[in-house]
Amino acid sequence: MLHCGPHTGSAARAELEITGDNSMEKKAQDSRKGAPHRAVPPAVGLLFSMALMNTLLYFCLDWFFISRPRSAPSSAHCPHGHFRMGQMKNCSPWLSCEELRTEVRQLKRVGEGAVKRVFLSEWKERKVALSRLTSLEMKDDFLHGLRMLKTLQSKHVVTLLGYCEEDNTILTEYHPLGSLSNLEETLNLSKYHGVNTWQHRLQLAMNYVAIIHYLHHSPLGTLVMCDSSDLPKTLSQYLLTSNFSIVVNDLDALPLVNHSSRTFVKCGHRELHGDFVAPEQLWPYGEDMPFDDDLMPSYDEKIDIWKIPDVSSFLLGHVEGSDMVRFHLFDIHKACKSQTPAERPTAREILDTYEKVLNLLRETVMSQTREML
């Protein structure tokens, strides 16, 4: 039988106090142990994610604005009389008449001009372009174009794969994106939206001016692009490659200027009209006097310079940033439109200006991006 005397009550109270203290201490320990496992607030996680994304965006933009598209292997690295295209690792000799007759399979007509018809064809499972003379009356122009192709092979000119003078045929590399006339239609396709930017468009304009510079300083001398009486005709002379650069395709009308011997040119034998052609290409004796080709003064390569602003404006299009590019090119383009041919800049000077504007605007965009980040 238990008795609850005074001593027994004191012991009980002491036990309760000890138990209470242990319970409080346990709660404090549990509280301390639980603190490190507390969930991270959503706002902190969001800020961390944004910081990480900004860092990645910074490096991506830096790469995007500084890097340039890689050029595909071209015949520029092949010996004269040889070619390389697409994924070919080695250079191959130009195809002969026999090889053109037996190895090339004509598929369908894809274009036609005054001098030649162009057929999509196939050679060793590769798509190629086979050109055939339209009529014997145009054979001199056809052979002139062939001579230009053979002599001017470079990164600026469509790759020659072979030819046969007996059959009046020329085989060149096929570019599925077609001529520059199709540029807007091509860039409007969803898969090309990524390159439909002022940067890529300005680089296309630089490609075009670089071609003009090459023709004005070609291995043959100063050549003038005469097949350029209006903008659509001019654009049709150039092809858009799969890596979004430009090559000149039609070289049938490239007369030679020689300043030393005072040899100048006239583009065709008919009267030209409009603002696209240079002023010196227009009949200078007024409407009262009928046009006479014998009385028409000749001119030099500066007619190509006059047309550069119009072609470049087309290439720049109307995407975000293109008007800013036009603003920075205003002075050089104004100089191109000088009524006095000798006062117009050279293609080299124009190309240098384009390069400076590209670098300036790239750095401006990069600086703005860095500030935002």
Structural Rg of the chain based on CA atoms: 36
Residue 58: CB partners within 8 Å, gap ≥ 6? 369, 370, 373
Nearest to 307 by CA among 267, 266, 336: 336
Q: What is the pLDDT of residues 206-228, one digit of tens each?
A: 999 999 999 999 999 999 999 99
Residues 167/319, Cβ–Cβ less than 8 Å: no
Could you tell me which residue, 33 or 272, shows the higher pLDDT? 272
Residues 121/104, Cβ–Cβ less than 8 Å: yes
In the predicted structure, residue 8 carries a pLDDT above the cut 90: no
Torsion-angle region of 370 (φ positive above 0: left; ψ -120 to 50: alpha; else: beta): alpha
Q: What is the pLDDT of residues 108-123, one digit of tens each?
A: 999 898 899 999 999 9
Task: Specify the DSSP class assigned to residue 1.
Answer: -
Q: Give the pLDDT confidence score for residue 86 in this predicted structure.
A: 82
Q: What is the pLDDT of residues 140-164, one digit of tens each?
A: 999 999 999 999 999 999 999 999 9
pLDDT category of residue 25 using cuts at 50, 70 and 90: low
Q: Give the pLDDT confidence score for residue 64 in this predicted structure.
A: 46
SS3 256: strand
pLDDT category of residue 129 using cuts at 50, 70 and 90: very high
At which residue do the structure tokens 């203290």 appear?
Answer: 21
Q: Give the pLDDT confidence score for residue 370 in this predicted structure.
A: 67
Could you tell me which residue, 361 or 55, shows the higher pLDDT? 361
pLDDT category of residue 2 using cuts at 50, 70 and 90: very low
For the chain, what percentages of helix, strand and coil (3-state, to nearest 5) are there? 50, 15, 35
Q: Give the pLDDT confidence score for residue 52 in this predicted structure.
A: 55
What is the enclosing helix (H) or strand (E) of 133? strand 126-133
Give the CB-side neighbour count of residue 132, counting CA atoms within 13 A: 13
Q: What is the mean pLDDT of residues 27-32?
A: 50
230-235 CB contacts, 8 Å cutoff, 24+ apart: 230/274, 230/276, 230/277, 231/276, 231/310, 231/311, 231/314, 232/181, 234/276, 234/307, 234/311, 235/179, 235/180, 235/181, 235/183, 235/311, 235/314
Q: Give the pLDDT confidence score for residue 67 in this predicted structure.
A: 45
Distance, in Å, from the CA atom of 171 to the CA atom of 119, rounded to the nearest integer, reads 10
In the predicted structure, residue 172 carries a pLDDT above the cut 90: yes
Task: Specify the DSSP class assigned to residue 171.
Answer: E
- Report the range of poorest mean pLDDT among 66-80, 189-203, 352-366: 66-80
Averaged confidence pLDDT in the chain: 86
What is the enclosing helix (H) or strand (E) of 236? none
Q: Give the pLDDT confidence score for residue 364 in this predicted structure.
A: 83
Q: What is the pLDDT of residues 313-353, one digit of tens each?
A: 999 999 999 999 999 999 999 999 999 999 999 999 999 99
Q: In the chain, what percentage of residues exceed pLDDT 70?
A: 78
Nearest to 99 by CA among 171, 159, 168: 171
CB-based burial of residue 207 (10 Å sphere; 0-12 exposed, 13-18 middle, 19+ buried)?
Answer: buried
Q: What is the pLDDT of residues 292-323, one digit of tens each?
A: 999 999 999 999 999 999 999 999 999 999 99
Q: Give the pLDDT confidence score for residue 54 in this predicted structure.
A: 53
pLDDT category of residue 99 using cuts at 50, 70 and 90: very high
Q: What is the pLDDT of residues 34-65, one digit of tens each?
A: 445 555 566 656 666 665 565 455 445 444 44
Q: How many CB atoms lie within 10 A of CB 143?
A: 17
Task: List, in sequence order, every residue forming a beta bridge with 282; answer none if it has no partner.
Answer: 272
Evaluate if pTM is beyond 0.85.
no
Distance, in Å, from the CA atom of 117 to the CA atom of 65, rounded to the nearest integer, reads 41
Task: List, in sequence order, every residue forming a beta bridge with 299; answer none if it has no partner.
Answer: 265
Q: Give the pLDDT confidence score for residue 29 in this predicted structure.
A: 53
- Report the range of poorest mean pLDDT among 101-105, 258-262, 283-287, 366-370: 366-370
Q: Give the pLDDT confidence score for residue 298 in this predicted structure.
A: 97
Q: Give the pLDDT confidence score for residue 60 in this predicted structure.
A: 52
Residue 134: CB partners within 8 Å, gap ≥ 6? 112, 113, 114, 115, 116, 117
Torsion-angle region of 124 (φ positive above 0: left; ψ -120 to 50: alpha; else: beta): left
